[in-house]
Amino acid sequence: MLDAGDDHTALAAGAGLASSLSGAAPGPRALAVQAIDMTKRFPGVLANDHVSFEAAPGEVHALLGENGAGKTTLCNLLMGLYRPDEGKLFIEGKPARFRSPKDAQDAGIFMVHQHLRLVESMTVAENVVLGAAGARQLRFSPRAVEKAVAEAAARFQMSVDPAARIWQLSLGQRQRVEVLKALCRGARILILDEPTAVLTPQEADQLFSSVRDMAAAGRTVIFISHKLPEVLAVAERVTVLRHGRSVTTVPTAGTGADDLAGLMVGREVSLAPTARVAHEPGPAVLELAGVCARGDLGTEALKDITLQVRAGEILGIAGVSGNGQRELAEVITGLRPTTAGTIRIGGARLAAGGPRAAIDLGVAYVPEDRMGTAIAPDLSIAENLMLKSYRGKARGWGPVLSRRKAIANAQEMMARFDVRAPGPTTLVRQLSGGNIQKVVLARELSCQPRLVVAASPTRGLDVGATQYVRRVLAGTAAAGVGVVMVSEDLDEIFELSDRIAVFYAGRVVGTLKATEADRHRVGLMMAGAT
């Protein structure tokens, strides 16, 4: 922890941060990164098969590919997390062979991972200097560190309170901290792995502006994303990986989203919206009346929420992150207590009893945090698939679970939901993001729910997985199930929703039919206009 020393306590870490930001980036004499025939094998898997890739100083270069195409493995090779079995790597024109991430960081290479790696109990400033080379003094001045972090945040247009603790921040703000941590430590080559997966459209636009500033200052940004429009908006060139191989590198100028999608999957792809069949919704499956709830900070996060969802209907919940959407999903699923109001599911009142009470009333939940909430990463696919149904007689006899039945159930679910893995005993943490989400959908939808709460269901997924999840949600609604879909992707909201409820400051500022809505109107409502 930082010691509350006086202002003139020397802070080597803070000074180091300031100097790393003010230092000039290397000139354009050599390629910033040049990987030649990089190959990485794991037992039974050829993750990278002679991949070649290069990026210039001052360039934003995107890496595209389906889940499992080898993008993250390549970046882990660049970061020193893995060692290549074959191939050569040059950084700023010099041969490089990293034995650890520290070697890569000493060479100016940093990676911001999709799943954030912050200490939640510590402040922003403490996370930024945690483990930094200059942070090994016996005494620190919190104010000096916070000042250095605030200056970095201002320079790169990443507004965040240096004194705030990580657990108090939204996911979007936490992402800024990860980026600031790399920049403050002198990153010349910055790898962003799905950086907008936790950002609202407004935050994403701000990040793109910051990325352009980094490139203009001579830094190289390697941008990994499944969102093709944002790749076309921010990157100058795109390298496409497929089945572990580098397929091609193309300029974004003159290239369309359908072209990139086709290169990713190896066939023509249409990004047409998911088809919805017009139908008349059934009776109400979810009714909220005057619901209030407190957030993690103890302040009121939901204020007098009144909503209804009918059978066969998708209600889209739109809003800027941190306006009560997460708390709404948690009160419906029994994860967060209410302080006022009533919740009825299928006509029955949801009593205080935690998630079990909601499950018993037929509520399925697809959380926004796949790794932290939705699954048990160190359990197998079969074990994750039975987390909600292990009490049933179909899984065993009394307190004894049947491994044979669990495996058979998992095989059936994997085939039905197209989960691609070596087998039911594969650990879930070894799967791609898209396959993890399929496991979650298989577990939740196989319980025959009357209501599905899906929070950011396609966040961080590739084109194919996104289209698959959207088709599943549309099909679930068509089968007569009510769906509450919380999403910060307005395109997704408009594509799937029958009605849209817009949240601002913990309140519903308006509910409208999707056919009567437009982005400008919804955007104004997200800013608080009623």
φ, ψ of residue 118 to 5 degrees: the values are -125, 155
Q: Give the long-range contacts of residues 271-275, CB within 8 A, separation 24 or more.
A: 271/228, 271/463, 273/495, 274/467, 274/470, 274/471, 274/474, 274/495, 274/496, 275/474
245-251 and 237-242 as β-strands: parallel, antiparallel, unpaired?
antiparallel
Answer whether CATH 3.40.50.300 is correct for domain 284-526. yes
Q: Tens of pLDDT along 196-209?
A: 766 666 677 888 99
Q: What is the pLDDT of residue 445?
A: 93
In this prediction, the residues of the chain whose per-residue pLDDT falls under 50 are: 1-16, 18-19, 22-28, 138, 397
Q: What is the pLDDT of residue 88?
A: 95
Q: What is the pLDDT of residue 13?
A: 41
Which H or E element spans position 234? helix 228-234
Q: Rounded to whole angstroms, how far apart are CA atoms 127 and 463? A: 33
* Closest by CA position to 424, among listed 472, 382, 370, 467: 382
All structural domains of the chain with their residue ranges = 20-118+186-265, 284-526
> CB 215: neighbour CB atoms within 10 A?
22
Q: What is the pLDDT of residue 491?
A: 84
Q: What is the pLDDT of residue 146?
A: 85
Q: What is the pLDDT of residue 24?
A: 43
The CATH class of 20-118+186-265 is alpha beta
> CB 336: neighbour CB atoms within 10 A?
20
